[in-house]
Amino acid sequence: MLIIAGLGNPGAKFAGNRHNIGFMAVDAIQRRPGFSAWSKKFKAEISEGELAGEKVLLMKPQTFMNLSGEAVGEAMRFYKLGAQNIVAIYDELDLAPAKARIKLGGGHGGHNGVKSLDAHCGRDYRRLRLGIGHPGAKELVHNYVLGDFAKVDRDWLDPLLDAIADNADMLVKNEDSQLMNKLALAVGSRADDEATKPAKPAKAAKDPKPAGQSHIRQARNVNQPKKLPESGPMAEMLKRMFSKKSED
């Protein structure tokens, strides 16, 4: 038996959040034929079905992200399973949008849902991490992950979720590298386009208003009549020069 647990926060308020991509993934799997309607058990919404000839329990913990491990751990103990029978699907800030990675074990990377899973289930479960990108600064992370995906994100998000659902049997068969290939093919061109898209050229600076020329430009403009100084040392010197010419 395999538990596939998507991580997220319960309630309509959070449904479209980047932090809820794990919920979105198991929702996509549940919509495929052979899975029961969602019901409540183990502090979670669960759906039972079968993939590749093996029983599968889909889970969406309803304990809020920070306590996700309570629900998954309860189900794991009920069915007398180990961490090796769990696949967790969740958002990853350190992966570009549309990218996916899967691994066995590892650190939590600051993800509170994963911290909770580690505490209640051990660390030796498989982790399907779905990239959502990083906002660029630590202080922006909270609002970013609890913000909804933009409309333009659907161009890669929908194909990614569909590919996870279409190839979920690979999770049961431990065909992780083949699954990554399938996901990359589903969104590869979109992900590559985003990664290689050239930055928009900066707008050309507007010419300054022709209110007047700089003193340097005035000095270079030989056609401009020069106004002689009327006082000061320069004025005295010019007077002497011109008076000599007139005497000659």
Q: Would you please indicate which residues are annotated as catalytic (active-site) residues?
A: 19
Alpha helices in 169-231 (DSSP H): 169-172, 176-196, 215-220
What's the token pair of residue 22?
């794990």
Would you list the DSSP string of 42-62? TTEEEEEEEETTEEEEEEEES
What is the Cα–Cα distance from 3 to 58, expressed in whole angstroms?
6
**Coil, helix or strand for 119?**
helix
According to DSSP, the residues that pair with 3 across neighbouring strands are: 57, 86
Burial degree of 233 (CB within 10 A; 0-12, 13-18, 19+): exposed
Fill in the DSSP letter of residue 88: E
What is the Cα–Cα distance from 17 to 188, expressed in whole angstroms?
23
**Coil, helix or strand for 244?**
helix
Question: Sign (positive/negative) of CA torsion 68, 106, 131, 166?
Answer: negative
Q: In what order do the strands lie in the sheet with 39-41?
A: 39-41, 44-51, 54-61, 2-6, 86-92, 126-131, 100-104
